[in-house]
Amino acid sequence: MGENIEKSTLPYQLFLYNEELRRPNPRVVRRIKSKVELTEKLINENMKNLDNYGGADLMAINRQVDFKEELTEKIEMIKECHKTMKSQKNPSTWL
């Protein structure tokens, strides 16, 4: 999924994220990954014009980067929770 970020356009990324939100059975990790990809695309678009930005714009880009890092950490935490839950499931041994 991460390899296609540069190949897809921002409107397409928005479309994919919107479609993920419409799913009847939410897949939290997939939604967060979609949000990370969308945020990364926005950051990349903004990085192209850094010379034209003022201080407030640079602070906004910095917030975007921080947000992306928080989402990435959230994904890792969710994966760790799933691993922990799977490892705690002990099959019945007394049958």
Per-residue pLDDT, 3? 47
What is the CB neighbour count within 10 angstroms for residue 89? 6
Per-residue pLDDT, 71? 94
- Spatial CA neighbour of 21 closest among 2, 12, 34: 34
Q: What six digits make up the tokens of 88?
A: 């705690």
Give the tens place of pLDDT for each residue, 44-76: 988 888 888 888 988 999 999 999 999 999 999
Q: Tell me the domain boundaries of the chain.
A: 2-88
- Spatial CA neighbour of 46 closest among 34, 63, 23, 33: 63
Give the tens place of pLDDT for each residue, 72-94: 999 999 989 888 887 776 665 66
Q: What six digits make up the tokens of 84?
A: 């922990």
- Tell me if the pTM is above 0.75: no
Alpha-carbon distance of 5 to 58, in angstroms, equals: 22
Per-residue pLDDT, 2? 46
